[in-house]
Structure 1
């Protein structure tokens, strides 16, 4: 029975295991002949068959995996070189290379004792929303434990079909797609972005998937049959907040939205809604394994999902983790009635106006982004007031809509003026992260 599909290739568990073992042999040879003291495998990740083979092969040869977004071009190899090991330029393996007559179980079982839970397994780069990207080191314990906690919050069964369209080189898909697929035994189809839905959606008819808000909106506006949405029952949405409007639209279609919250440094899931308590504007409760403290509104967490550290950066690690407590840097509210969390914004982003009022810009921006035609909003301080810059369909006519949307907010949280960017924001220009959120500091510098 097919359990994994990439492009037009479909595999049973045994066939995939044989490919993984063959890939492990190739990688082990490269490390022995070309590697340095670091047993690390770096490669440009493009959500192909090769990504999954390398991810599953590295533990068999006691190697650390360094997947880097292929869209970074030449910079991907530069990032990997900061760690060391070998760089794989062509990581695709043909089926005829795998030796389909062999049984992979013996090889896999023999390798397991070499791999210890707290060994470094994976380096992922942070998205760089508020600062320069950092290399986060995650252990096998981090990855397995966090995927298990996510799966407990949002159970999947072996009969589910998962369509993975988010990059496996980012923590969200790595844990909530790849990890939960392996633990649940369901079927996973792998592609990237909207193209994955157009090509594979109608073929596999997924029942579960994870997306970011921009992709959720594009899928909703598409023909359901053409995207293969007829069987979809659970749609995870992370990376940024889904608007209440989009949440309600999907709910009306009979699809349960699963929102969550976390950081690359937390493997990444800290909170997750469940199918039973999914609520617009909330990110669910804390998944298994976390202790938490909220200090002056700022969230700190401790537990087995906290990263082992930033690679080769002890100073940054000690600033981020003190006595085991990970500083998320986020300002939150805990709903006492439901124990669900609401994310107000980044602590570093709090704006203090000249009149002393404190503004959490992200909560205002999310409300404005619910207006049809507004793709992104950025709140900018202006003395005693705030202004808003829009990435929107049109350049004019937004003031009245924004005033109406923010009518229930105090006067100091309502923009005094509205401006529009001349060109749409994009990841290519460096204004957006790969997950589609604004790089606030970079865009703010451009506006000065």
Structure 2
């Protein structure tokens, strides 16, 4: 992070009046940003200990992020989607001495640690940007809930963060001419890197639209289409669900993506191939990637103009990735220092993900080792790519494959907006036939033969999803074998006979 802070100081001199960040309320030049960060650094120097950050995306969040880093104190972003119990665990585990927050999060944050209002222009004054020329050694602790729900803190310092920011900038050929649109929460490390650090490194513009993701989750798919049309960025980062929403909104509006776009990175989960194909036809230049917090959030990404669909692209320059007994193993400057409260990590990181390289050297990620299903016939089934294909159909909002030890996989289906009453009124045989018709290139033994239909709220109520929306596979296996799961399970006898 020393390089990012130094880049901010240089940008304040080279492009003092150029707009660096814009949000829903205001904008900020590089000179103004550097002065506000320097003023916040002076204020933070009065204390010690790790600092939590709990607020909505915006320029004030950016100032706090950079100021805590430049002050040499440890920054701990607090994800708003964590439960109160998870946040309490994070506050204790990281030993937070202070939480910077906005008014909307003040009451919640105050239950965890002492709080101060975020560094808005009316809260902290400006100072000489020269204060940024000798920044402290900032550290991050990034908490990830994973699938178990118990957050683990990943320790990342200057070495990891400076490397990954520069490597990302090179991978997407970022320049000062780029305009970035930020719609994901900044507590996600990838969005912090791409939405804050990379634009500062190259002197580009970052525009924050904090309400887009929430609006899409609430069913307003047009929010993302309108944001891209208004901002007309060249670069953005999305998760597959937001890409799907954008594709759907463009199709409904009979519109195309802005011609200004040159790179839209997509990661966090497998991308349905149907969505990638539709995105390409609509002018969205998708770049699939792969990474995890323990390796600085990005390990591999497709490059602009050279994307290989269905792969995560080439490994970032400076990293070494090997496949050991099928598992992706990473070594190099982005590998974490260790977990909070744990010993320092040395050497390569075994990711727990299965993968391989294609003939062109692109990384293909095949799913989690611990997600593997083994059927009663002894067949191994990796569920994540099957789930991605199912979720590429507009009738299906979410699909989770389960049935470890069963003769064939079982599909849990959350209907999408275009499903109508199909899943409520169609015969089980018709539904299974539809599910299998969506899947291409999947062997017979991996095709679902039975299913259960739930709403998104029921998935949460039954404890089948983690707070960040990932399937809790052990809980799902227990649920489907319990009374509620058995009551909802539907199997088409005729389909079973067909494959007997």
Per the normalisation by structure 1, the TM-score is 0.87
Tell me the equivalent position of 1:417: 450
CA–CA distance in structure 2, aligned partners of residues 236 and 407 of structure 1:
25
CA–CA distance in structure 2, aligned partners of residues 364 and 419 of structure 1:
16
Tell me the equivalent position of 1:80: 91
CA–CA distance in structure 1, aligned partners of residues 310 and 176 of structure 2:
30
Tell me the equivalent position of 1:167: 185
Query: Within the alignment, does 1:255 sit opposite 2:284 as a pair?
Result: yes
Superposition deviation, residue 367 in structure 1? 1.9
Superposition deviation, residue 349 in structure 1? 1.3
Superposition deviation, residue 425 in structure 1? 5.9
Specify whether residues 71 and 260 from structure 1 end up closer, same or farther in structure 2 by C-alpha distance, changes over 3 A only.
Answer: same
In the alignment of these two chains, the number of paired residues is 426
Of 342, 347, 366, which aligns to 1:344? 366
Q: Is the 8 A contact 1:122 1:137 kept in 2?
A: yes
CA–CA distance in structure 2, aligned partners of residues 295 and 313 of structure 1:
25
String of CA shifts for 1:104-151, please: whole Å, max 9, x gaps.
1x1111x33x43xxxx61011114135632111111111110121122
Q: Is the 8 A contact 2:81 2:468 kept in 1?
A: no
CA–CA distance in structure 2, aligned partners of residues 181 and 328 of structure 1:
28
Superposition deviation, residue 423 in structure 1? 4.8
CA–CA distance in structure 2, aligned partners of residues 190 and 156 of structure 1:
18
What does 1:354-433 align with in structure 2 at a 5 Å threshold? 354-381=376-403, 382-393=405-416, 394-395=423-424, 396=426, 397-406=430-439, 408-424=441-457, 431-433=464-466
Of 200, 205, 228, which aligns to 2:232? 205
CA–CA distance in structure 1, aligned partners of residues 461 and 33 of structure 2:
35
Superposition deviation, residue 2 in structure 1? 1.1
Superposition deviation, residue 350 in structure 1? 1.4
What does 1:44-193 align with in structure 2 at a 5 Å threshold? 44-72=54-82, 74-75=84-85, 76-84=87-95, 85-88=97-100, 89-100=115-126, 102-104=127-129, 106-109=130-133, 111-112=134-135, 114-115=136-137, 121-129=139-147, 132-192=150-210, 193=212
Per the normalisation by structure 2, the TM-score is 0.78
Moved more, 83-92 or 349-358: 83-92
CA–CA distance in structure 1, aligned partners of residues 306 and 128 of structure 2:
43
Moved more, 15-24 or 68-77: 68-77
CA–CA distance in structure 1, aligned partners of residues 255 and 56 of structure 2:
24
Tell me the equivalent position of 2:325: 296
Query: Within the alignment, does 1:241 sit opposite 2:274 as a pair?
Result: no
String of CA shifts for 1:406-442, please: whole Å, max 9, x gaps.
3643221111212212555666875445654323333
Which structure shows the bigger proportion of residues in strand conformation? 1
Query: Within the alignment, does 1:27 sit opposite 2:44 as a pair?
Result: yes
Superposition deviation, residue 210 in structure 1? 0.6
SS at match of 1:304: coil
Q: Is the 8 A contact 1:259 1:283 kept in 2?
A: yes
Specify whether residues 27 and 296 from structure 1 end up closer, same or farther in structure 2 by C-alpha distance, changes over 3 A only.
Answer: same
Q: Is the 8 A contact 1:239 1:435 kept in 2?
A: no
Specify whether residues 293 and 3 from structure 1 end up closer, same or farther in structure 2 by C-alpha distance, changes over 3 A only.
Answer: same
SS at match of 1:333: strand
Moved more, 424-433 or 77-86: 424-433
* Cα RMSD after superposing both structures: 2.6
Q: Is the 8 A contact 1:44 1:70 kept in 2?
A: yes
Specify whether residues 206 and 77 from structure 1 end up closer, same or farther in structure 2 by C-alpha distance, changes over 3 A only.
Answer: farther
String of CA shifts for 1:367-395, please: whole Å, max 9, x gaps.
22222211221212243322111112434
Moved more, 67-76 or 268-277: 67-76
Query: Within the alignment, does 1:353 sit opposite 2:375 as a pair?
Result: yes
CA–CA distance in structure 1, aligned partners of residues 63 and 316 of structure 2:
29
Moved more, 57-66 or 430-439: 430-439
Specify whether residues 299 and 340 from structure 1 end up closer, same or farther in structure 2 by C-alpha distance, changes over 3 A only.
Answer: same
Tell me the equivalent position of 2:474: 441
Superposition deviation, residue 362 in structure 1? 1.2
Superposition deviation, residue 265 in structure 1? 0.4
Q: Which runs of 5+ in 1 are unaligned?
A: none
Q: Is the 8 A contact 1:202 1:225 kept in 2?
A: no
Specify whether residues 427 and 148 from structure 1 end up closer, same or farther in structure 2 by C-alpha distance, changes over 3 A only.
Answer: farther
Of 11, 15, 19, which aligns to 1:2? 19
Q: Is the 8 A contact 2:142 2:293 kept in 1?
A: yes
Q: Is the 8 A contact 2:154 2:294 kept in 1?
A: yes
Q: Is the 8 A contact 2:64 2:118 kept in 1?
A: no
Specify whether residues 127 and 228 from structure 1 end up closer, same or farther in structure 2 by C-alpha distance, changes over 3 A only.
Answer: farther
Q: Is the 8 A contact 1:45 1:67 kept in 2?
A: no
Tell me the equivalent position of 1:14: 31
